[in-house]
Amino acid sequence: MNPVRVRYAPSPTGSPHVGNIRDALFKHLLAKNTGGVHILRIEDTDRARLVPGCEDEIVASLRWLSIEWQEGFGVGGPHEPYRQSERKELGIYAKLVEQLLASGHAYPAFDTSEELTAMREYQQINKQPIGYFGGIWRDATPEQVAQARAEGRTEVIRQRIPRNTTIVIEDVIRGRIEWDSNTVDDPVLIKGDGMPTYHFAAMVDDHLMEITHIMRGEEWISSAPKHACLFDAFGWQRPAFVHCPVIKGKDGSKLSKRHGDTRVLDFRSAGYLPEALINFVALIGWSPGGDRELMNPTELAEAFSLDGLQPSPGVFDLDKLRWMNGNYIRAFSTEELFNRLVEYIRESDTLAYWSREGTDNPATAGHLSQLAAALERDPDFVRSLLPLEQERVVTLADFGEACAFFLVDEVEFVDQGREKWFGEAHVPELFTSMREKIAAAAALETADCEALVRDYAAAHGMEKLGPVVHPLRVALSGKTKGPGLFEMMSVLGRDRMIARFQRAEAMARSNG
């Protein structure tokens, strides 16, 4: 059996999204699992739709996710060049299309756009299969072709699909699939501008680059008979066809932005970790067996096989991605978390992403800017407070808001906390006492802070800590919920606590 050779072949006409990055991930995992080769090829034959900078974004997306390729664009290899426009300039496609014309497996066609539109309208009205099944050009005489060329009519080259037969492929996931060849239209191989189409260039390059598995989305199943016939026309061995399941939203509809489908690098800007995203994406339409869900990149590669791919649609569940991401964050050591956060905040796209109009949480940009300033001013303080919020966040971006109250001179009080607790009779004296005890304390480690609070409750005959803990929390953080009070007190330190209790005491006395 030949070593596995697979290719990720994006078109630089738009940013990589979840669907096509899953395509790259599956191929990367298969190559890793089998010791095969993953190739990156740029299919840029649709010149009208090219987006400047898209090639760089494709590479940046793959590198952020650690999706490797051993051959191809940017790294070279024995089948250079790996950009199709350059392969066209070398005459690779022209030589082979001449071979098809000579063997009768292709023919020139000169239909105008108006003629093609009229043909499709006629097919729709008469409930006929929609597509190009030959017109006058499939069986045109050499004289008709010569006259059309003499008139300067735009010429395309079409594939001549065999008629009155059954076309069969064996799909790795779906098994045997059959088509009546009379329902398969003749696709364009070479466009009027001389550029090859996907139907031609991709299959030619797959053969020349010795691709063993054509892995792609199930939306390409309808094109499979055309591609199988093309391999047959050249007398080439067909690669294995693997049509991966479509990705849908949780509601069963086509995946869209409202489900969370967005450009891959936006997930980075939003605070998702690459290992969480590839773990999540790998499980959309593929199962490792059993009930495993959290799998690091090495575990994914070791477990991946084509047998685990499913024919039924995969579901993009943003809640599940957030759950996974939170688990990965909680698994970090403090130092690793600190380094990841620094890297995230310093990434050039992060603040730009959160400053866009229409973001889910427009305050995040300000919170992250505040955190960035604190990292420059006092990195050790930021490092000390991260473990307090590590259990409570699900993305790196969440640290901006979660840490905000640590980093300001005066906290903003939530109305319900201030109204509920600052009006209690014992609270002004509580704040005064705690401020004095903190000022006099020799040490303020977590255990020391807990002792101060418990001693106060005991001294005032309070059997439950709630009436002490809750107003202290609001005074120090402005919130009614948050990290453990004693840990928070220790991290805030003497001066911050004294200042906050002093302010809260004045408010509490004015409430009284």
Options 88, 248, 250, 257, the catalytic residue: 257
Rounded Cα distance, 196 and 193, in Å: 9
C-beta of residue 18 within 8 angstroms of C-beta of residue 316: yes
Of 93, 89, 78, give the one whose Cα is nearest residue 39.
Answer: 78
d(CA 304, CA 194): 40
Written as one letter, the residue type at 117 is T
Output Rg (C-alpha) for the chain, integer angstroms. Answer: 32
Nearest to 231 by CA among 204, 267, 196: 204
Cα–Cα distance between 25 and 83 in angstroms, integer? 20
* Residue 454: how many other CB atoms lie within 10 Å: 15
Peptide bond into 81 cis (omega under 30): yes
Phi then psi for residue 147, to 5 deg, are -65, -40
In terms of C-beta density within 10 A (0-12 exposed, 13-18 middle, 19 or more buried), how is residue 232 classed? middle
Catalytic site includes residue 191? no
Beta bridge partners of 158: 107, 188
Contact call for residues 463 and 508 (beta carbons, < 8 A)? no
Q: How many residues does the chain have?
A: 512
Q: Which residues contact 371 (CB under 8 A, 6 or more apart)?
A: 341, 345, 382, 399, 400, 403, 404, 407
Residue closest to 329 by CA, chosen among 347, 316, 341: 341
DSSP string, 208-245: HTT-SEEEEEGGGGGGHHHHHHHHHHHTPPPPEEEEEP
Query: How far apart, in whole angstroms, are the C-alpha atoms of residue 111 and residue 454?
Result: 88
Name the residue type at position 41: R
Nearest to 264 by CA among 345, 357, 349: 349
| Whether residue 288 has a cis bond before it, omega within 30° of 0 | no
C-alpha 193/C-alpha 405 separation (Å) is: 61
Residue 242: φ, ψ to 5°: -130, 100
Antiparallel, parallel or unpaired: β 71-72 and 37-40: parallel
Q: What is the DSSP string of 404-419?
A: GGGS-SSPPPPHHHHH
- Decide if 256 contacts 316 (C-beta within 8 A): no
Q: Which residues does the annotation mark as catalytic?
A: 257
